Amino acid sequence: MNRSAVWHPFTQHAVEPDMPCVARTGGAYLETADGRRILDAISSWWVVTHGHRHPAIVEAIRSTAATLDQIIFAGFTHEPAERLATALTTLAPEELDWVFYSDSGSTSVEVALKMALGYFHNSRAARSRIVVMEHSYHGDTIGTMSVGARGVFNAAYEPLLFEVDTIPFPVAGREQETLDRLEGLVRDRKAAALIVEPLVLGAGGMLMYPAWVLAELKRITEASGTLFIADEVMTGWGRTGTLFACEQAGISPDILCTSKGLTGGSIPLAATLATEAVFRAHYSRDRSRTFFHSSSYTANPIACAAALANIEVWRSEPVMKRIAALSRMQAERAASFRGDRRFADVRCTGTIAAFDLHVESSGYLAEIGPKLRAFFLGRHLLVRPLGNVVYVLPPYCVTADELDQLYDAIDEAASLVEAAA
């Protein structure tokens, strides 16, 4: 094969080996052109829920493509988008009555931030500060980098980023510090919105916090008139054990972002859901109050059809039983690492398990990260540690035997790391 011209994401090509070419996917596996079957233990960056190429979703894509492709969504609509919006407002937490489509998790968050600022601008209220949580990650566009943790991901782009106010991550036993900081930041009513990843911070290290903290964050924002944005791009569609993570705290955000599992991981689509109040702030005969956002592929009909098929899978198949079973299996296997000197902070939320390897150098750029990836790939496992943080986030079709294979490899890797220390 000739040298590839592809520039891959989050990839330092100067040190990365040649990449396997995936020729086929199915269930929990990637199949390479040279015949290897690789267990997808991270759901291909957290998008695949039921398994690769679920037949119902594939058929919806095929049948819709026979009659519809992309159409302009300003001034026109189509049945898949209308049906999907109705379904989403039914499934989502209460009072999220409006659906704005985009095409990725990052854009869904950009939309949410612009909705929040537009809400107060159109209400003639001088509120423009955004409050964020320490260690959070919301995407790689300018707005989403601004509300995410500052560091290696965005150091080169610092001149483009806007200032935000930060609350500390609610470390176990010190949660009140987080709540007190938020109380202080919203007291002067200058904050437009708080944005959080509910229950689990993904790229920040699979950090987890309890539902009661999430409920308190919502209570504080509501009391001060600050909008609450729930970034459910990763946590939605069952990952934390419920359809949306917000359900576990019994809260309804003012704005909710969803993508990744929205189509079962089959094709790009995102949606930002908002309350009637947020929509009404943009509703006027004054056209200057229009919500000025779009993308060329807004509400792609084929993607909307895939999302509808995904929702039908949730309705017709025992998805929640699979999630509950996977959650139990994860908790049982992760428990074997608790008290093990090789690991720190063994943690689970729903279908997600994570543990920190004890190494001299930690963090996303820890040297152990690429070595671990290569180790797992050598055993036909797709595991992509966040530096020294190993996490397991598989599709819901994964079996107990496959998880055993995976955890045996994690155990072996930890022993090799310890021996090399």
pLDDT tens for each residue of 141-165: 999 999 999 998 899 999 999 999 9
Percent of the chain past pLDDT 90, that is, above it, reads: 95
Confidence at residue 360, expressed as pLDDT on a 0 to 100 scale = 84
Confidence at residue 336, expressed as pLDDT on a 0 to 100 scale = 95
CA 197 to chain CA centroid, nearest Å? 8
Percent of the chain past pLDDT 70, that is, above it, reads: 100
Q: What is the CA radius of gyration of the chain?
A: 21
β-bridge partners, 226: none
How many other C-beta atoms lie within 10 A of the C-beta of residue 97?
A: 15
- Tell the burial category of 53 from Cβ atoms under 10 Å away from its Cβ (0-12, 13-18, 19+): middle
Average pLDDT over the chain reads 97
The Cα–Cα gap between 279 and 346 comes to 42
Confidence at residue 117, expressed as pLDDT on a 0 to 100 scale = 98
308-327 mean pLDDT: 98
Residue 252 to residues 54, 244, 245, 249, 408, Cα–Cα distance (Å): 30, 10, 10, 9, 40
pLDDT tens for each residue of 344-378: 999 999 999 999 999 988 888 888 999 999 999 99
Say if residues 270 and 262 touch (Cβ distance below 8 Å).
Answer: yes
The Cα–Cα gap between 195 and 190 comes to 15
Does the global pTM surpass 0.75? yes
Confidence at residue 37, expressed as pLDDT on a 0 to 100 scale = 98
112 pLDDT higher than 80:
yes
- Domains in the chain (CATH in brackets) are 57-316 (3.40.640.10), 319-420 (3.90.1150.10)
The Cα–Cα gap between 128 and 131 comes to 10
Count Cα atoms within 13 angstroms, Cβ side, for 64.
23
Q: What is the DSSP letter of 27?
A: B
Say if residues 366 and 359 touch (Cβ distance below 8 Å).
Answer: yes
Q: Which two tokens stand for residue 7?
A: 């520039």
Residue 214 to residues 81, 194, 226, 228, 390, Cα–Cα distance (Å): 31, 11, 15, 11, 25
16-29 mean pLDDT: 95
CA 292 to chain CA centroid, nearest Å? 25
Residue 368 to residues 298, 347, 357, Cα–Cα distance (Å): 40, 20, 9
125 pLDDT higher than 60:
yes
Length of the chain: 421
Amino acid at 310: N
The Cα–Cα gap between 385 and 371 comes to 10
Residue 16 main-chain phi, psi, to 5 deg: -80, 140
420 pLDDT higher than 90:
no
2 pLDDT higher than 80:
no
pLDDT tens for each residue of 284-306: 999 999 999 999 999 999 999 99
260-289 mean pLDDT: 98
Say if residues 204 and 149 touch (Cβ distance below 8 Å).
Answer: yes
Confidence at residue 421, expressed as pLDDT on a 0 to 100 scale = 76
How many other C-beta atoms lie within 10 A of the C-beta of residue 184?
A: 11
pLDDT tens for each residue of 182-234: 999 999 999 999 999 999 999 999 999 999 999 999 999 999 999 999 999 99
Q: What is the DSSP letter of 5?
A: -
**Following DSSP, what letter does each residue of 49-104 receive, concatenated?**
SS-BT-HHHHHHHHHHHTT------SS---HHHHHHHHHHHHHSSTTEEEEEEESS
Range with the lowest mean pLDDT among 94-108, 310-324, 348-362? 348-362
Question: Virtual CA dihedral for 252, 257, 259, 260, nearest 10 degrees?
Answer: -70
Alpha helices in 234-367 (DSSP H): 276-280, 301-316, 319-335
